[in-house]
Amino acid sequence: MKCEKAQVSTWSVWLRTNNLLERLTFCPETLPENPSDSSLHRTTEPLKSFHPQIKWFQKDDVVILKIRIRNVEDYKCKYFRDRVIFSGWVGEKLYLADMELQANIVKDACKCTIVNEEPVITLAKETRGPWCSLLKQRNPNVAFDFDHWEEKEEDSQFPQAANSTNLQRQVAELAESSDRPSDNDGSESE
């Protein structure tokens, strides 16, 4: 028995199963006793996902990604040699980040943990040393975390992780030294 739109409207119920939304459509007047009845239509539709904001920084042997979402549930992280995929639910929203990395990682040495209610992914670099970027392609949702930036003495062109309090102390010392009067008499230097 089919619903006639003029007489009775159909109802849809959305269920979340295996990270997909499943829509059950039925006629309220003709609910079947047997679920295989033709008045019950199941359709699986692609789930709309959101890309989380990600901040990253690096050390010589690892890259750290901070996923900027709180209270995440059912999170998963899949690691590949040159790619990492993060997914997690916050309420009814699915957050998904599929990132193609610009260098390779050791997938068995990577981990995802919750720190201060936010997911933090630690990627073990296959080769020690600085990465000039995280991703092969630019992504506006992924940015370098300048709270962990420090220039090395040898003037490396690549940023490395640092202790942010140490960086703040260095900036304060530099500001103090620039405020002091110089020893010259105001004439131009050679």
Does 33 share its domain with 109? Answer: no
Higher confidence at residue 138 or residue 173?
138
Predicted pLDDT at 164 = 53
* Residues forming a β-bridge with 67: 54
Q: How far apart are CA 119 and CA 30, in angstroms?
A: 46
The answer on pLDDT for 41 being more than 50 is no
* Burial grade of 76 (CB within 10 A; 0-12, 13-18, 19 or more): exposed
- 104 falls within a domain: yes
Q: Number of folded domains in the chain?
A: 2
- pLDDT single digits (tens) 55-70: 999 999 999 999 999 9
In a shared domain, residues 127 and 82: yes
Is a pLDDT exceeding 50 seen at residue 7?
no
Confidence of residue 148 (pLDDT cuts 50, 70, 90): confident
Same domain, 77 and 149: yes
- What does the pLDDT read at residue 149? 78
Q: Is 56:135 a contact under the CB 8 Å cutoff? A: no
5 occurs within a structural domain: no
All residues at 6 or more sequence positions from 130 whose CB lies less than 8 Å from its CB, including other chains:
58, 60, 156, 158, 159, 160
**Residue 55 and residue 114 in one domain:** yes
- Summarised one tens digit per residue, pLDDT across range 115-128 is 999 999 999 999 99
For the stretch 60-117, pLDDT in tens is 999 999 999 999 999 999 999 999 999 999 999 999 999 999 999 999 999 999 999 9
Same domain, 31 and 77: no
**CATH number of the domain to which 130 belongs:** 2.60.40.790
Instruction: Give the pTM.
Output: 0.58
Same domain, 27 and 59: no
Domain of 26? Answer: 11-45
The pLDDT tens digits for 130-143 are 999 999 999 999 99
